[in-house]
Amino acid sequence: MGLRDRRRAGPEQEAGHSCAVELRGVRRQYGRGAGAVHALRGIDLTLPHGSFTAVMGPSGSGKSTLLQCAAGLDRPTGGTVRVGGTDLTRMRESRLTTLRRERLGFVFQAFNLLPSLTAEQNVALPMRLAGQRADPRRTAEALARVGLGGHAGRRPGRLSGGQQQRVAIARALVTDPDVLFADEPTGALDAGSAGEVLGLLRRVVDGLGTTVVIVTHDPVAASWADRVLFLADGALADSLERPSPEQVAARMAALGGHPVAGLSPVPPVPS
């Protein structure tokens, strides 16, 4: 039985729970009264195990807040978030931290690697933070998985942006998480490096069975996902299954998102 299967069989989890992430009526409000901002207005969402989801929407529509709430990095002001059947919303902070370390992975636009550590040492960090001995075999496996087995001793400053993001993905995968969350993982990359990172995320879903959720503003990036969710003003406005970049761009334009350079104009897709 693999690590992930053992975790799924854990006592806190509801028997037979079949989805990786479940949001029910999730609301997130900043501030109170007349000046309150309703970043999420009641999100209902189910993400199956081993699925790849992209979240899109205009700036300020609530994408990052949704990701942060789903990943237990922010607490909703209403509703429930479950990961593998475990309710995060009423969990004490210390248990939530442990759950995040053991079962979730995170990747950010800015890579967030420690510049003074080698690729290998960066990838080993989650094991060290969990109080474990850094296992060199697992570190090497994670780096090999992202195609950087030969760069273990390099510091981030000597790696390209795409390579740094792949190290960040190796670091997120070293604990064998159930769900990998990525906020604009290709936002700082050129098209070629972005394609490598997205192909890697696709293989993580298809090969390892990890559930992947990304926020992106790029229709090409979103088209690597199984499902694209569109947020507008804190609510789920639409979704597309396995869309082409052109279909994603057309739906974004219909929601008032910015037109995307590099994609030829396409007629609106009837809804």
Residues making contact with ligand ADP (CB under 6 A): 30, 37, 39, 57, 59-65
Q: CB 201 → ligand ADP: shortest distance, Å?
A: 19
b/e sequence 134-160, b meaning 16+ C-beta within 10 Å: eeeebbeebbebbebeebbebbbeebe
Comparison of 39 and 167: residue with beta carbon closer to ligand ADP: 39
Comparison of 63 and 151: residue with beta carbon closer to ligand ADP: 63
Comparison of 37 and 129: residue with beta carbon closer to ligand ADP: 37
Comparison of 39 and 70: residue with beta carbon closer to ligand ADP: 39
Helix (H) or strand (E) holding 202: helix 191-203
Longest dimension (CA), the chain: 56
Q: CB 74 → ligand ADP: shortest distance, Å?
A: 9
Using N-to-C axis directions, what is the helix angle for 161-173 and 191-203, rounded to 10°? 20
> What gap in Å lies between CA 166 and CA 157, rounded to an integer?
14
Residue 217 near residue 56 (C-beta atoms within 8 A): yes
Comparison of 57 and 76: residue with beta carbon closer to ligand ADP: 57
Q: CB 102 → ligand ADP: shortest distance, Å?
A: 26
Q: CB 61 → ligand ADP: shortest distance, Å?
A: 4
Q: CB 229 → ligand ADP: shortest distance, Å?
A: 12
Q: CB 215 → ligand ADP: shortest distance, Å?
A: 6
Comparison of 62 and 126: residue with beta carbon closer to ligand ADP: 62
